[in-house]
Amino acid sequence: MISFDTVFLTAIVAGLFGALTGLGGGTVMVPVLTYIGVDIKIAIAASMISIIATSCSSAAIYVRERIVNLKLGMYMEMFTIVGSLIGATLTLLSGSHILFIAFGGVLIASGIAVAFKERKRQEQTVLLKDAFTKALVITCSYEDRAEKRRVLYCPNRSKEGGPLMILAGVVSGLLGIGAGAFNVLIQDLVMGIPTKASTSTSNLIIGVTALAGSSVYLAAGLIDPTLAVPIILGVSVGAFAGTAILVRLTNKAVRRYFVVVVILIGLDMIRRGVF
Amino acid sequence: MKSPPWDLDMLVEVILLAGLILAISLIITSLVWQWILTGTFGVFPAIAAMNLLEYSIYTLRNATVEGMGPAALANSGIAVLLFTPFVRVLASVIFFGIREHNRIYTAFTGFVLVILGIVLFGL
């Protein structure tokens, strides 16, 4: 039996690593738990619950700062919860080797997405709204305290961006991760939301998305409190520490190093799924 | 001086923080209690397959019939954590429906609430 201390310390490291890479604790938690002998489906279910905890803390902070686009988030949640239910159901139906391969693929894609996001030039969003987005009356600004200015932006193509969020929901429910990298990518590339607003809005969305997925795992009897309790605490501590470190981390190369490690873990997950 | 009116941001922030703090407090208390009783941390009975409503009733029954113990407290913490985003969605429906009279967002948040209600409570 795996000890409390082992899972708790593993969860702290996963939370720290997840915060430093910007991928969230679950992305690292699930592979690491499988390395110490936890069944991948149990690991996914436990990780899913820890996402709710990290979402609550980070979303509350971002909401206080008024960076979260609440209306946009609530519109997109309609799609992510449906995706999460589909994803979690697929996990129950899938064999472990398929989950290993899927997880590996998603880790690699997430790592590339984060790397791509860092390279992407911060473009001034064109202040245009399509008719559908106008009808949604979505807010178009937030106060950037770091830059000491009000950032104006205008979400576009909500009609396309919303349904695409089903995919992010499927990935989240399937693998027990927040799928924040995919949320942000869709908001950035399809809807033209600035990174700060999309990242904070993603933090709000992943809580409800994880709740939908957790409900499937709870109904299947996959939630193990012996595992869930240290993971909830450990990931929360690790994510808090990671966020504090990240504020002081100016060298982007360090973050890129972590992304490379995530991609390597992804390759190893695929290897474990295949062989 | 008159305090500013409540808006959705404040409502969401308070619900998320309150839920998280309560859940984490219950979980930490359960661990400390267990350590005092047994000298070890965090071995809890497995949960049978059930929805959140059944899980909450099971936890409450354990606490009232068998007496509150570390396992019931840990389960309560997990249940509170699971309820937190649900309460946030419920509050959003009420906010948009009653305070804002915003039909579009009442429908959006209402849709999320109904789906969650079905999967969490077997409605």
Note whether B112 contacts A208, CB cutoff 8 Å.
Answer: yes
Find, among A271, A176, A247, the residue nearest to A263 by Cα.
Answer: A271
For residue A106, give how far its alpha carbon lies from the nearest alpha carbon of chain B (Å).
25
B3 assigned to some structural domain: no
Q: Which residues of B touch A5 (CB under 8 A)?
A: 41
pLDDT tens per residue across span A92-109: 999 999 999 999 998 898
Q: Which residues of A touch B75 (CB under 8 A)?
A: 225
How sure is the predictor about A180, in pLDDT bands with cuts at 50, 70 and 90?
confident
| ipTM of this complex | 0.91
B1 assigned to some structural domain: no
Say how far apart CA A107 and CA A101 lie, in whole Å. 10
A1 burial level (CB within 10 Å; 0-12, 13-18, 19+):
exposed
What helix, strand, coil percent values describe chain B, rounded to 5?
75, 0, 25
Say how far apart CA B7 and CA A7 lie, in whole Å. 39
Q: What is the pLDDT of residue B83?
A: 94
Mean pLDDT of B78-103: 94
For A172, phi then psi, to 5°, come to -65, -50
How sure is the predictor about B103, in pLDDT bands with cuts at 50, 70 and 90?
very high
Evaluate the CA torsion angle B92, B93, B99, B104 in order and state its sign: positive
Maximal C-alpha separation, chain A: 57
The proportion of chain A whose per-residue pLDDT surpasses 90, expressed as a percent, equals 33
Note whether A49 contacts B19, CB cutoff 8 Å.
Answer: no
CB proximity under 8 Å: A 100-119 to B:
none
The boundaries of the domain holding residue B113 are 10-41+48-121
pLDDT tens per residue across span A120-176: 545 455 556 688 887 777 777 887 776 778 888 888 888 889 999 999 999 999 998
Closest by Cβ to B119, choosing from A77, A210, A212: A212
Mean pLDDT of B57-69: 82
Q: What is the pLDDT of residue A170?
A: 94
Q: Does B29 touch chain A (CB under 8 A)?
A: no
Classify residue B3 by its DSSP letter. Answer: P
For residue B46, give how far its alpha carbon lies from the nearest alpha carbon of chain A (Å).
5
**Chain A to chain B Cβ contacts (< 8 Å):** 155
Say how far apart CA A141 and CA A228 lie, in whole Å. 38
How sure is the predictor about A74, in pLDDT bands with cuts at 50, 70 and 90?
very high
Classify residue B47 by its DSSP letter. Answer: P
B2 assigned to some structural domain: no
Chain B residue nearest residue A136, CA to CA: B104
Q: What is the pLDDT of residue A196?
A: 81
Q: What is the pLDDT of residue A117?
A: 64
Chain B residue nearest residue A64, CA to CA: B13
pLDDT tens per residue across span A213-260: 999 999 999 998 889 999 999 988 888 787 777 666 655 656 677 778
How sure is the predictor about A22, in pLDDT bands with cuts at 50, 70 and 90?
low
Q: Does B23 touch chain A (CB under 8 A)?
A: yes
More confident residue, B65 or B30: B30
Say how far apart CA A11 and CA B40 lie, in whole Å. 19
Closest by Cβ to B75, choosing from A1, A82, A225: A225
> Is pLDDT of A118 > 70?
no
Report how far apart the first and last C-alpha atoms of chain B are (Å, whole number).
46
Q: How many domains does chain B have?
A: 1
Q: Any idea of the CA torsion for A82, A88, A89, A91, to the nearest 10 degrees?
A: 150
More confident residue, A184 or A39: A39
Say how far apart CA A80 and CA B111 lie, in whole Å. 12
B4 assigned to some structural domain: no
* Range in A6-15, A241-250, B79-88 with the lowest mean pLDDT: A241-250
Note whether B55 contacts A218, CB cutoff 8 Å.
Answer: yes
